Amino acid sequence: MARRIFIILLTVGFSLPSCAHPLRVGSTAQGKASWYGESHNGNRTASGETFNMKELTAAHRTLPMGSMIKVTSLTSGKSTTVRVNDRGPFKKGRIVDVSEAAAKELGMIQKGVDQVKIEVLSIPGK
């Protein structure tokens, strides 16, 4: 019985998403970014703070809250620095969701989705 429970726990443990993140300070990744604004404005983020679409923030699946990342549009060449304060994006193939303010700086408001490069600038406690 104990062995069966151990095997079940071991199986479940390996199927859960890891809290570890593959990106480290200096790491880069490329992919699609989207943005979110008014429909989420005022809602609570995963960090516990209130989302403000006018601040330079972002949602990332795995980076710790408070991490700072540089996001560069591969279309416009424009870049901005944002703070991770939420989880997402939840659409397949996207690597980051940025706030409306960040999307404006990147020149991606009209498109909604853009090809970007992200670079991890800092991770809290590292």
Q: What is the pLDDT of residue 112?
A: 94
Residue 14 confidence class, pLDDT cut points 50, 70, 90: very low
- Asked whether the whole model's pTM tops 0.75, one would answer yes
The whole-number average pLDDT for the span 94-100 is 97
CATH class given for the domain over 21-122: mainly beta
Candidates 121, 113, 120, 117; CA nearest to 36 is 113
10 or 4, which is more confident?
4
- Cβ partners under 8 Å of residue 70, min gap 6: 79, 80, 81, 118, 119, 121
